[in-house]
Amino acid sequence: MKHKLFSMQVNLDDFIPATEEEKAYMVQMRPSTTFFRDGVKRLVKNRVALVSFIVIVLITLSAILIPIFWPYGYEQMLGVTPGKPVDASYNNLSPLHYGATEQAKIDAGEKVFPHLFGTDSSGRDYFIRVIYGTRISLAVGFFASIIVLIIGILVGSIAGYIGGKVDLFIMRIVDIIYSLPDMLMVILLASVLRLTLDSALAGTPLEKIGSNIISLFIVFGLLYWVSMSRLIRGQILSLREQEYVLAAQATGAKSNWIIRKHLIPNCISVVIISTALQIPNAIFTESYLSFLGLGVNAPMPSLGSLAADALNGISSYAYRLVIPAIVISLIVLSLNLFGDGLRDAFDPKLNA
């Protein structure tokens, strides 16, 4: 068909559907990035945070997985066999040494699993005790932070959302709890609660966890939620006044939608960061209490109680103190550094 000048006829070739290749060409060169992906990218670029994260993952995995295949139990006294006198050669073994009966087996050509860190004064394999101690310390830190998180969110959002007299009343209580000397109160409550709880827990499934850990959780639930609730209240108060919330309201958004789509996503990074920074704090408190003898119930080990037990034989077995000391410091250090990295990566107000 001949094309005439000024004709109203359209060139149909211009209107055939684009092929897949052409479509692909028109698509943006780079996929658009979400807030979360952007943060992860920043986090991965931060070497210190990345290394700390790997250290945390390695420690956590070994605390969970190693007890599955390790041939010794944390409370198993190797020198004690039912019906025989206690074999004292198993007590206080140096690293990679063996007890008398094990030595006999090795001489006979059998293989015996080595005691990597030796044994303690009751003949218990020290490596597995350190692993269990790490497990307990991590679990306490994690659950204590979750408790703090839940109570903090609940109280903080109630205070921030309702406002008025309720807010004033809650914030005065928060002020007072905040100015209480926390460690002294923790020691006081922990030393008293364990006595009260022992009788109350007897026979329930909670008995196995031990009254000391439960009292530690109660203490955390009572005292440490205040800074979290302050944070959340502040967030809600400032977010409520933001212009995009007003804009959403003006376009007819329901408050349910505003909370889900605007308030929570903007709050969540701050909340996650301060929870991450709460975990080392809890681990620290637990080890401090265990060191004073107010922590986990024997024979359950925690890193703090292992260090405290090792204090007795410190002149001959210093490594028994150094090992849990290094593990605690490593956990606390890498959690702190990772928390800092998270804050740098996910707190958009700091990037500005």
Partner 1 sequence: MNSKNIMYIVKRILLALLTVWVVITITFFVMHAVPGGPFLGEKAMSEATIKALEAKYGMDKPLMTQYFTYLKDIVTRFDFGPSIKQRGRMVIDVIADGMQTSVKLGLIAAFIALITGVVLGAVAALRRNRIIDKVIMVITTAFVSMPSFIMGVLLLIAFVIRLKWLPGNGATAGGLVLPIITLSLYPMAYITRLTRSSMLDVLGQDYIRTAKAKGVSKWKIIFGHAMKNSLIPVITYFGPMIAYIVTGSIVVEQIFAVPGIGRFFVSSIINRDYPMIMGTTIILAILIVVMNMVSDILYKVVDPRIKLD
If one asks whether residue 70 binds partner 1 (CB under 8 A), the answer comes out as: no
**CB 317, min distance to partner 1, A:** 10
Backbone angles phi, psi at 301, to 5 degrees: -95, 150
- Choosing from 280, 295, 301, 339, the residue that interacts with partner 1 (CB under 8 A) is 280
**CB 172, min distance to partner 1, A:** 9
Binding flags for partner 1, 210-249, as an x/- string (CB under 8 A): ----------------------------------------
How many Å apart are CA 76 and CA 126, to the nearest integer? 11
If one asks whether residue 311 binds partner 1 (CB under 8 A), the answer comes out as: yes
The CB density around residue 199, as the number of other CB atoms within 10 Å, is 9
Residues whose CB falls within 8 Å of the CB of residue 147, separated by 6 or more in sequence, listed in order: 217, 220, 221, 225
Closer of 150 and 188 to partner 1 (Cβ): 188
Termini Cα distance of the chain:
61
Number of residues lying near partner 1 (CB under 8 A): 39
How many Å apart are CA 9 and CA 218, to the nearest integer? 82
**CB 325, min distance to partner 1, A:** 4
Closer of 225 and 291 to partner 1 (Cβ): 291
If one asks whether residue 322 binds partner 1 (CB under 8 A), the answer comes out as: yes
Cα distances from 173 to residues 159, 166, 176, 232, in angstroms, run: 11, 11, 5, 16
**CB 181, min distance to partner 1, A:** 4
Query: Of the candidates 323, 296, 298, which has an alpha carbon nearest to the alpha carbon of residue 130?
Result: 323
How many Å apart are CA 218 and CA 199, to the nearest integer? 16
Tokens 């890193």 belong to: 303
**CB 246, min distance to partner 1, A:** 26
Q: How many residues does the chain have?
A: 352
For helices 211-223 and 126-162, angle between their N-to-C axes, nearest 10 degrees: 30
Closer of 77 and 226 to partner 1 (Cβ): 226
Q: Which residues on neighbouring strands pair with residue 252, listed in sequence order?
A: none
**CB 314, min distance to partner 1, A:** 7
Q: Are 77 and 103 in contact (CB under 8 A)?
A: no
- Choosing from 78, 151, 300, 332, the residue that interacts with partner 1 (CB under 8 A) is 332
Query: Of the candidates 139, 127, 132, which has an alpha carbon nearest to the alpha carbon of residue 323?
Result: 127
Binding flags for partner 1, 172-201, as an x/- string (CB under 8 A): ---xx--xxx-xxx-xxx-xx--xx--x--
How many Å apart are CA 285 and CA 303, to the nearest integer? 11
Cα distances from 283 to residues 175, 216, 247, 286, in angstroms, run: 24, 11, 44, 5
**CB 291, min distance to partner 1, A:** 5
Binding to partner 1 in span 154-173, by CB under 8 A? none
- Choosing from 121, 162, 242, 293, the residue that interacts with partner 1 (CB under 8 A) is 293
- Choosing from 51, 237, 248, 325, the residue that interacts with partner 1 (CB under 8 A) is 325
Distance of CA 238 to the CA centre of its chain: 28
Closer of 56 and 78 to partner 1 (Cβ): 56
Write the DSSP symbol of residue 14: G
If one asks whether residue 292 binds partner 1 (CB under 8 A), the answer comes out as: yes
**CB 275, min distance to partner 1, A:** 18
Residue 64's Cβ-side half-sphere holds a number of Cα atoms within 13 Å equal to 7
Closer of 235 and 266 to partner 1 (Cβ): 235
Which region among 129-137, 142-150, 209-217, 287-295 touches partner 1 (by CB under 8 A)? Answer: 287-295
If one asks whether residue 288 binds partner 1 (CB under 8 A), the answer comes out as: yes
Task: Give the interface with partner 1 as residue ranges (CB under 8 A).
Answer: 175-176, 179-181, 183-185, 187-189, 191-192, 195-196, 199, 280, 284, 287-288, 291-294, 304, 307, 311, 314-315, 318, 321-322, 325, 328-329, 332-333, 336-337
